[in-house]
Amino acid sequence: MTQRYLPGATIGVMGSGQLGRMFAMAARRMGYRVHIFSPERDSPAGQLADREVVAPYRDEKAVRAFARNVDLLTFEFENIPLETIEWSASECDVRPAGSVLHLAQHRLREKDFLSGAGIPVAPYRAVRSAADLSEAVKQLGLPSILKSAAFGYDGKGQELIVSRNDLGKIWKARSGDELILERAIAFEKEVSVIVARGPDGAVATFPVCENLHRNHILDLTVVPARMDDSIADAAAALGEMIARRMELVGLLAVEMFLTADGGLLVNELAPRPHNSGHWTIEGCNTSQFEQHVRAVCGLPLGSSEIIQPAAMANLLGDLWQAGEPDWAAALEIKGVHLHLYGKQEPRPGRKMGHLTALAPSAEAAMAAVTEARAALTRPIS
């Protein structure tokens, strides 16, 4: 029988950013103790934890000691060194399993897994040499996107290729990387599905999210996604299929492209809470963070039913360029909620917080959250 961890147990979290912070909020509210392993002191998650251990991820002694002092260990993000996961798993129960993180932290492994399982993905090729790059472009055509196989997020490590004349220069600049080339997809929408799976195989899927990006960083999420119900059902089914194939225990975000003909292509996987699911804190019966607690602890999954249409807007460090944003002005907008992550330095492009708005329709929620964010930096008349 699979181990169930009841309130009062201690959950360890590898990683210490805003996802860990909101996870800790949900876990502590449910009666769990939370220990955070962080490479930095006074981290967003550490500020709300019962204990924050500060050490590098590759410090074996510190990692093992941390894992021995928790009942269960989970992860805030997938790019944790493989040896760190293995050290942890030898000392305590780890959910999701290290094999899931190992798969999701490498684009080529991820694409091979998905295509091997019959999941639709954009055409792709591995690139390990200049000849590989030239042949991949020949096979896939242009435009195509060259991506780092590992440690990429928010568009980092990606380069659009539009001309064969650039290949030599591009390879010279990127030859030290492990790379993957993907055909650029003309898509109508970017959507994501967040699915939870417990150790007993039970599955619960949140409503499909429609995501709008700016400079490769998620800007707005609106739910329910503005798409046909049949396509939303197909997206949810894909997410559930992937979670089962991975034998996931925890939460999985599946990012997809919706093409002009109504098809869906899976782009990326994230086996953890996800930026596009922050709206669930106010907008669902069970937030994505509580659902992750329930899933990894072996508790019954909560209802993922939406309460009211919602929209979420990221708050990046750019908003601080002219001084402290006007929080009161944003909160004057009806239905708006503010979340700040406890980060001290508001650098451009850095995710510092988010706003969520609930409204009678998706369009009204998006209008409210957009108005609220604009009010943060509106000059006082």
Q: Are residues 20 and 155 in the same domain?
A: no
Q: Per-residue DSSP letters for 311-380?
A: EEEEEEGGGGTTSS--HHHHHTSTTEEEEE---S---TT-EEEEEEEE-SSHHHHHHHHHHHHHHTTPPP
Residues of the chain above pLDDT 90, percent: 91
Q: Does residue 226 sit in helix, strand or coil?
A: coil
Asked if pLDDT for residue 294 goes beyond 60, the answer is yes
In a domain, 267, yes or no: yes
Please compute the mean of the pLDDT values over residues 328-334 and round it to a whole number.
97
Q: Are residues 209 and 63 in the same domain?
A: no
Residue written as tokens 């955070």? 36
Distances, alpha carbon 307 to alpha carbons 83, 137, 257, 303, in Å? 41, 46, 26, 11
In a domain, 381, yes or no: no
In a domain, 219, yes or no: yes
Q: What CATH number has the domain bearing residue 360?
A: 3.30.470.20
Q: Are residues 371 and 233 in the same domain?
A: yes
Q: State pLDDT tens for residues 225-242.
A: 999 999 999 999 999 999
Q: Are residues 163 and 197 in the same domain?
A: no
* pLDDT tier, 246 (very low <50, low <70, confident <90, very high otherwise): very high
Measured CA angle at 54 (ends 62, 35), to 5 deg: 85
Residue 155 is predicted with a pLDDT of: 58
Q: Where are the beta strands (DSSP E) in the chain?
A: 10-14, 33-38, 51-54, 72-75, 93-94, 124-127, 144-148, 158-161, 179-183, 187-197, 203-205, 209-214, 217-223, 250-259, 264-270, 310-316, 336-340, 351-358
Q: Are residues 227 and 179 in the same domain?
A: no
Q: Range of 280's domain?
A: 187-375
Please compute the mean of the pLDDT values over residues 52-77 and round it to a whole number.
97
Residue 307 is predicted with a pLDDT of: 97
In a domain, 298, yes or no: yes
Residue 277 is predicted with a pLDDT of: 98
Q: Are residues 148 and 213 in the same domain?
A: no
Please compute the mean of the pLDDT values over residues 349-378 and round it to a whole number.
97
Q: What span, in angstroms and rounded, lies between the C-alpha atoms of 371 and 296?
A: 37
Q: Are residues 208 and 307 in the same domain?
A: yes
Residue 2 is predicted with a pLDDT of: 79
In a domain, 74, yes or no: yes
Q: What span, in angstroms and rounded, lies between the C-alpha atoms of 240 and 258?
A: 17
Residue written as tokens 């799976």? 197
Q: Are residues 309 and 192 in the same domain?
A: yes
Q: State pLDDT tens for residues 183-194.
A: 999 999 999 999
Asked if pLDDT for residue 162 goes beyond 90, the answer is yes
Asked if pLDDT for residue 1 goes beyond 70, the answer is no
Q: Are residues 213 and 284 in the same domain?
A: yes
Residue written as tokens 């094999």? 99
In a domain, 43, yes or no: yes
* pLDDT tier, 173 (very low <50, low <70, confident <90, very high otherwise): confident
Q: What span, in angstroms and rounded, lies between the C-alpha atoms of 113 and 107?
A: 10
* pLDDT tier, 251 (very low <50, low <70, confident <90, very high otherwise): very high
Last residue of a domain, one of 155, 183, 211: 183
Q: Are residues 200 and 308 in the same domain?
A: yes
| Residue 294 DSSP class | H
In a domain, 107, yes or no: no
In a domain, 334, yes or no: yes
Asked if pLDDT for residue 381 goes beyond 60, the answer is no
Please compute the mean of the pLDDT values over residues 212-228 and round it to a whole number.
96
Q: State pLDDT tens for residues 120-157.
A: 999 999 999 999 999 999 999 999 999 998 866 655 67
Residue 178 is predicted with a pLDDT of: 84
Total of domains in the chain: 3
For the chain, the average pLDDT equals 95
Q: Are residues 133 and 89 in the same domain?
A: no
Q: State pLDDT tens for residues 11-43.
A: 999 999 999 999 999 999 999 999 999 999 999
Last residue of a domain, one of 94, 112, 144: 94
Q: What CATH number has the domain bearing residue 129?
A: 3.30.1490.20
Q: pTM, whole model, 2 decimals? A: 0.95
Q: Are residues 199 and 244 in the same domain?
A: yes
